[in-house]
Amino acid sequence: MAGIKGKVVVITGASSGIGEATALMLAERGAKVVLGATGSDRLKAVADRIAKAGGEAAHAKTDVRRRGDVTNLINLAPERYGRLDVLVNNAGIGPISPLDDLRVTEWEDMIDINIKGVLYGIAAALPIFRKQGFGHFVNAASTAGHKTVPNQAVY
């Protein structure tokens, strides 16, 4: 974590789980975090917790299935803090059900969030990184996506 102080980091899926923990840890170590998630109340609570601890956090309600939401979140970093150092593509879902339940809507949501959401983040951040001459992507993934497990065939 050396060198994280003062860096500007955008995190999707930042209102709970790994995204929340990442935001809190990075802010504690001096990063300026820009948080996105669909749960506005929880998102604001994380940002408030960071601010109360002396950190800096901006946030925007973000549904990564919507390219415009992702673009707005990414653009909030340079608007608020002058640059973007890191994008953490963390938002994701892993619906669990037998394949023969045919929960096609859940499959579509998973593809839209876990795949297209990541690509939308890259599409929004890459031009900023190129213009700045620097930037990093961190794309979270689950080991469950690399092995076959009962009731997770689609994942």
CA distances from residue 120 to 69, 96, 99 in whole angstroms, order as listed: 9, 25, 28
Catalytic one of 81, 120, 129, 155: 155
Residues 150 and 52: their CA atoms lie apart, in Å, by 43
What is the rounded radius of gyration, in angstroms, for the C-alpha atoms of the chain? 16
Angle, nearest 10°, between helix axes 17-28 and 40-52? Answer: 20
155 counts as catalytic: yes
Handedness of CA 122, 128, 131, 132 (dihedral sign): negative
Handedness of CA 105, 109, 110, 112 (dihedral sign): positive
Would you please indicate which residues are annotated as catalytic (active-site) residues?
155
